[in-house]
Copies of this chain bind each other. A is one copy, B any other.
Amino acid sequence: MKSDLDRLMTERGLDAAVVFGPDGFSPVNAHFNYFVGGRHIIGWVIKKRGSPAVLIHGTMERDDAAQTGLELINVNRWPRKEIETLFPNPFDARVEMNRRIFTDLGVTGKVGVYGAGETGHVFALLRQLEKKVPGLEIVAEGHRDLIQTARETKDDAEIEAMRDVGVETCALIDDVKKFLQSHRSRDGVLVRSDGKPLTVADVKRFAHGRLVERRLEQADDFIFSIGRDAGVPHNRGNPADPIPLGKTIIFDIFPRRPGGYFHDVTRTWCLGFAPPEATKAWQDVKDAFDLSVRTVKPFGKTHPVQLAICEFFESRGHKTIRQDPAHQEGYIHGLGHGLGLDVHEQPPFPTFSDPGSTVGPGVVFTIEPGLYYPSQGFGMRLEDTYVCDAQGAFHSLTPYPFDLVVPMA
């Protein structure tokens, strides 16, 4: 959590951390959002070890900047007109502005760099800064960087925010369930009041409307995939498909409060009835889910949990990813992932190696076993978001029932 930053910087020998908040990346710039609370700001957050974080911002965003609670410096402290006149190439001007900011604020020594950016531009800028700022050594952390690590444990306010978005997301799932239930079927598919088949596009349009009403934001399109498509884990669902009875539907949604924390939940539904092979596979997935919840331990590693679930699925006769990552059928992905200001963050549940990832107090993560049989026309996944509390107990943040069959009138 944020209060760990100085300790983590000491452990890593970092003198300062610079978080870039560039134009256009705000929807996904989680490291920057962590400091500015999701507000729309172009600028830099600079945190020197032992000092509070400072936000450098433009004049046009001064109202948003004032709301962050950070120490503020208006970028007009540096002479943009002079710099851009001296350096007509915008990249050269950008280097010079950064050089002056780093130099004037004493951002030297071992400095970590964070925030979203355009690959080539980032590489070009940092190489120049290393040459031009005396004493600057950029420490590029490729795994569990400083801010990822701080974000990996949530403080009480963050957990409350994640509880809140979980409750609202479950209410949304119920909206969609009731919407489906409000339709009649004809020839095995749902039909609208105008007599045409209800489609995946219709369901998504309804859900997006409800997301707005519930003040939720779905950063990406969510998954509502049917039958064979549900057998391909990241297939989002074909918009033109009708909604059939008796086929598995994977509904995987991951909204957030605007600019804030994500929730991530998956249910697998069969409308009206479930065919026997789906019921059997669903029970295996549900058993794997329950086994996962029993297997995670406070401060325990995630890698052995993933292996235990592979072993379990193999004992039920399914292929798994640990046998071969090229498998397209069976249990073919990781068990879960950390969740917060990103949908995928630390810790992972890796299959092939143990990078030391653990789930301790304050960690929020998903558990999401699934089985995929596209050649048999079905796939399924069950997912809740979990938190480990201060006492080491695990609690679901996803208060919604698991039932496979959605009763239809």
A-to-B contact residues, CB < 8 Å:
20, 23-28, 31, 40, 58-64, 74, 76, 80-81, 84-85, 87-95, 112-128, 138-143, 145, 205, 208-209, 212-213, 215, 219-221, 229, 232-236, 258, 322, 324-326, 328, 332-333, 342-344, 348, 350-355
Contact = CB atoms under 8 A, between A and B. Distances in A.
Contact of A212 (B84, B122, B205, B233): B205
A324 B84 CA distance: 12
B342 A20 contact: no
A318 B127 CA distance: 41
Given A64-B235, A90-B353, 4 more contacts: A59-B332, A113-B123, A116-B117, A120-B139
B114 A140 contact: no
Copies in the complex: 2
A220 to B, nearest CB: 6
Contact of A120 (B93, B141, B213, B352): B141
Contacts of A138: 123
B91 A143 contact: yes
A98 to B, nearest CB: 11
B121 A142 contact: yes
Contacts of A91: 142-143
30 contacts: A24-B344, A27-B27, A27-B219, A40-B220, A59-B328, A59-B332, A60-B232, A60-B333, A63-B232, A64-B236, A81-B325, A84-B350, A84-B351, A88-B353, A88-B354, A89-B143, A90-B348, A93-B353, A94-B142, A113-B120, A115-B118, A115-B119, A119-B126, A120-B139, A121-B140, A121-B145, A123-B123, A123-B126, A208-B212, A212-B212
Contact of A125 (B63, B89, B142, B353): B142
Contacts of A94: 142
A63 B229 contact: yes
Contacts of A117: 116-119, 122
A182 to B, nearest CB: 19
A354 B85 CA distance: 9
A351 B25 CA distance: 24
A154 B120 CA distance: 22
A266 to B, nearest CB: 14
Contacts of A235: 63-64
Given A28-B28, A344-B24, A40 B236 contact: yes
Contacts of A120: 112-114, 139-142, 145
Contacts of A61: 234
A150 to B, nearest CB: 14
A24 B20 contact: no
A26 B221 CA distance: 10
A93 B143 CA distance: 10
A221 B93 contact: no
Contacts of A145: 118, 120-121
A102 to B, nearest CB: 14
A209 B138 CA distance: 45
A354 B87 CA distance: 10
Given A85-B352, A344-B24, A140 B113 contact: no
A199 B142 CA distance: 45
A145 B258 CA distance: 32
Contacts of A128: 142
Contacts of A95: 142
Contacts of A89: 143, 355
Contact of A81 (B64, B219, B324): B324
